[in-house]
Structure 1
Amino acid sequence: MSMNGYMRQIFLDALMQGKTEHLTTRYSKLREQAEQKLSSEAFLYVDGSASTQSTELNNRKALDAYQIVPRMMAGVEFSEFSTEREIFGRTFANPLIISPIGVQGQLHPDSDVATSQAAKEVEVTFCLSSATSTPMEVVMEKSQHEEAWFQLYWPSDDDVTESLITRAKKAGYKVLVITLDTWTLGWRPQDIDAGYNPFIKGMGCANLFSDPVFVEKYCEGKSPLRDGATADDVQQAALSVATQGLLTSGKARTWSELAQIRKLWGDGPIVVKGVQTLTDAARAVEAGVDGIWVSNHGGRQVDGAIGSLQALGPISQYIRGLPKDTKRPVIVFDSGIRSGADIMKAVALGADLVGIGRPYAFGLACRGQEGVEAVLKSLIADFEMNAALAGCRTINDLGPHSLVKSGEESRL
C-alpha cells in the first residue's frame, strides 16, 4: 500500500475542516503526548532503557553518523514508487515490521489487538510479544493478520515452551522469533526507582495465564483468567511466572539448543533476535536459522553497547557474501528508528525488514488502533517520499552507495 497521498489528505482535511485532526507526525511531540496520557510508570517502562541509557543514545548516534546522498534526474515516478519485498517466498508490501513490545495493556485497553489490527490495515508485518496482554489466539482471531509472527521469550520449562510454540503454530503465526538478549531483565533505573515490575502483578502474562500446561503445572488446573478468579489467584500465578523463569529464564541458552526449537516449530521460518556480532551471525547460520534480527532491544538490555546500526553493515555483508549454495537468512533490523530517513539507512545497509518500536507504542497510547495506524502511515509516507526525492525509483535502488559518512566525501 503506497502512502504517497497521505500528506495530501492531511492538507485537504485541514482545508475542508479548518483544523487538523490527525495525530502528530513528529516523534518528539508524539512522545510528549503519550507521556501526558500515561501513568509515569507505564511511560517510563516504554521510554526507558538500560542503566545510563548510553546504548539507546548510541543507537541514534549510529543512525545519525550516516547521511543520505541524493541523486537527481533519475527518472523517478513517485506514484509508481514501489516498496515491495520478496521475503520467505512471499510478497511484503513494505519493509516495516512491528517490533514485539510486551505489556501493551498498560498503554491502551485494546492493547495488542489494536496494534495487530492497525498493522493489518496498513499492510505492515506484525510480531506479537510473548509478554502480551491478550492471549495469542484472541489477537489472531480478532485481527486475522495474514503476516503475523510470534516472538518467544524462551521459558525455562520445556513443557511450557512446547505448548506456547504449538499454540502459536496452530493459531496461524507464520514465523517464530526467538529473542536471545532478554534471558533476564536489564538494569533499568526508571523501573527500579519506581518499584515497577508489571509482570509480578500479572500484567503481560496473558499467554502464560491462558496456557493449559502452565495452568496445570503452576495453578492447580485453575486459570487465573477464569471467571471468578481472585486477586490472590492472579498474584500467585504471576509469582510463578517470575520465580520459575517462564518469561525471563535467568539462564542464557546455547546455540546447540536451537535444534530443540526447530523440532517443535517444524519447517516454518525461525528468526533469532538480538544478534550484534559477526561471530553470532555465523553461529546463527550454522544453526540453520531463516532470519537474523539485528537488534539491541532498543538499548534496554546491555548498557554501554554499540549502536545497533553499527552491527548491521558488517553482518549484512557477511550474509550477502555466503556461498550461493548456503541458505542466506533474511535480515531484520531495529533499535532507534524514528523517521523515513532512518528506514532508508537501514535498508541501504542491508535490512530486508525494519522494526518499529517506541513510535507505535506511543501512537497506541495516544489513540489506540487509530494512533498506531497514523504512526505507520507517517513512517511509510516519509520513507517513500524521502527515497523518491533522493533518486530511488524503488526500494531496491537503495544500497551502501546511497549513504556517506563524515570523512568519506570522496565517495560522492
Structure 2
Amino acid sequence: MTSPTPQVVPTTAYQSEIYLAGLSGTTPALPTDLTRLEALAEQKLDSGPFWYVAGGAGTGATMRANRAAMDTWRIVPRMLREATQRRLATTVLGTELPAPVLLAPVGVQSIVHPDGELAVARAAAELGVPIVLSTASSYTIEEVAEASGAGPRWYQLYWPTEDEVTISLLGRARAAGYTTLVVTLDTWTLGYRPHDLDQSYLPFIRGVGTAIPFSDPAFRAKLAAAPEDDLMAAVGRWLPMFTGTALRWDRLPLLREHWDGPIVLKGVQHPEDARRAIEAGMDGIVVSNHGGRQVDGAVAALDTLPGIVAAVDGRAAVLFDSGVRTGADVFKALALGADAVLLARPYVYGLALAGQDGVRHVLRSLLTELDVTLGLAGYADVAELTPDALVYGRP
C-alpha cells in the first residue's frame, strides 16, 4: 500500500515566518536550536519520566559516542552550484516522504504529555511525516491511526513470545493502515539503565505503555480477568511476553507469513547482520543502537553506517537513527548512505514542552535546517548526497 502524497513540503518558509513575526514582537515559544530542548524538558518533567527519555545504558558512553561521531563527520560546502530550489522529497519502501525523515518509535509518551502519541500523530500528519508507532504506546493502534488521519504510518513490533498475540497485533496494524513493519531487535531485554534503576522507575510495571496489548483480543483471551479489573495480573502476563527472551533468525518466517507489506529490522550494528537480514528476505534495516539505551560502551551508530551500507549494496532500504538532533545530523547520515533518518528524543522533548504544537515546531525546525544546510552546502536534491559531501576528522 502506498501512503498518500504529503500535502506539506518543508521549505525555508518557517524561517521566514519566524523573522516576520518578530516585526510584531513575537518570538518562537520554543528554541529553534533543538539541542536546547533537553534542558528545558528537565525543568518541566518529574525526574522519573525525564530520565526515562533522556537516560542511557550504564555510564552513557554510547550516547556520548553517538554525538561525538556526528561532530567528527564534517560537511564540506561546495560553491557556485545551482541550489536555489531544493528537493527533499523521496520514497522509502513505498511510502512517499516530503523529506527523508520519520518519527522513531518511542514508547509510553503519555509520561511526558497526556495526549502522548495522539498529539505526535496529529503533528506528523500535518507535515506528511510518517510516525513509527511503538508497541509500547500509551494509546491503541486504532486510536493513533485515527489521529493520523490520512498521514503515513508504520508499526513497530516488540515481538511477543506467544505467536497468537503477535499475529493479532500484526493483523490489527494492517487493518488500521500501517504500511511497514519495523521489528526492534536490540531490546529483547532491558538494558542496564542506572537513572531508571536509582528511581525504581519503569512505566510498564504501573500499566503505562500497555494500551496495545491490553486492548488486544488474543492477549485478553489469556487472562483470568480483564486488565481493567486486575491490572497487576495483566502486567505480570505481558512483561515476560515481550521482554526477557532472546530473538532468533529462525523466527522471521512467521512475520513474513502474517505481514504482506515491507518488513524492516531495527537495531542492526554489524555488516554481517545486515547481510543475514537480506538473505532472510527482509526489505530494510535501521542502523541503530537504540539511542545508547541498551549497551554501554557500544560503537556509535553513525560509525557503523558506511560499512553496513556497503554490505547491503542497494539490495534493501537502509535507515538510520541514534544521536540525531539537527538538520545537519540528518544531512550527514544521508551523505553516508542512509535512505532516511529516524528522529527520536527531540520530538519527545517538544511533546513534553508544548504538546502537538511542540512536535510541529521540532519537525519544522529540523526540516528547515536540513533544507538550508542542503542548499548552502551546494546541493539541490537529497539524492545527490554522497560521502564526498563530508570529511572525517577531529570534532
Q: Does TM, normalized by the shorter one, top 0.5? A: yes
Residues 117 and 145, structure 1, Cα contact 8 Å, conserved in 2: no
Deviations 1:17-43 (A, max 9, x none): x13143211234211211122111000
Shift of 1:367: 0.5
Deviations 1:380-412 (A, max 9, x none): 0001101100100111121111000128xxxxx
| Matches of 1:365 and 1:149, distance apart in 2 | 22
Give the letter aligned to residue 389 of structure 1.
Answer: L
Residues 270 and 289, structure 1, Cα contact 8 Å, conserved in 2: yes
CA spacing shift, 1:309–1:22, aligned 2, 3 Å: same
1:235 aligns with one of 226, 232, 236: 232
Q: Secondary structure at the match of 1:57?
A: helix
CA spacing shift, 1:383–1:334, aligned 2, 3 Å: same
Q: Are 1:247 and 2:242 counterparts?
A: yes
Residues 364 and 371, structure 1, Cα contact 8 Å, conserved in 2: yes
Q: Are 1:29 and 2:36 counterparts?
A: yes
Q: State TM-score, norm by structure 2.
A: 0.95
| Matches of 2:318 and 2:224, distance apart in 1 | 39
Residues 298 and 334, structure 1, Cα contact 8 Å, conserved in 2: yes
- In the TM superposition, what are the counterparts of 1:274-313 in structure 2 within 5 Å? 274-313=267-306
Q: Secondary structure at the match of 1:246?
A: helix
| Matches of 2:355 and 2:78, distance apart in 1 | 39
Give the letter aligned to residue 284 of structure 2.
Answer: G
Shift of 1:87: 2.0
Residues 347 and 399, structure 1, Cα contact 8 Å, conserved in 2: yes
2:328 aligns with one of 323, 338, 341: 341
* CA-atom RMSD in angstroms: 1.3
| Matches of 1:89 and 1:119, distance apart in 2 | 18
Shift of 1:213: 1.1
Query: Unaligned regions of 5+ residues in structure 1, if any?
Result: 323-327, 408-412
CA spacing shift, 1:382–1:219, aligned 2, 3 Å: farther
Shift of 1:219: 4.2
Mean Cα deviation higher: 181-190 or 23-32: 23-32
Give the number of aligned pairs. Answer: 386
Shift of 1:123: 1.6
| Matches of 1:395 and 1:219, distance apart in 2 | 54
Residues 57 and 294, structure 2, Cα contact 8 Å, conserved in 1: yes
Q: Are 1:42 and 2:42 counterparts?
A: no
CA spacing shift, 1:219–1:29, aligned 2, 3 Å: farther
Mean Cα deviation higher: 81-90 or 288-297: 81-90
CA spacing shift, 1:90–1:215, aligned 2, 3 Å: closer
Identity score, percent? 46
Task: Give the aligned partner of residue 23 of structure 2.
Answer: 15
| Matches of 1:357 and 1:81, distance apart in 2 | 25
Q: Secondary structure at the match of 1:218?
A: coil
Give the letter aligned to residue 103 of structure 2.
Answer: I
2:253 aligns with one of 236, 242, 259: 259
Query: Unaligned regions of 5+ residues in structure 2, if any?
Result: 1-8
| Matches of 1:127 and 1:64, distance apart in 2 | 27
Shift of 1:51: 0.6
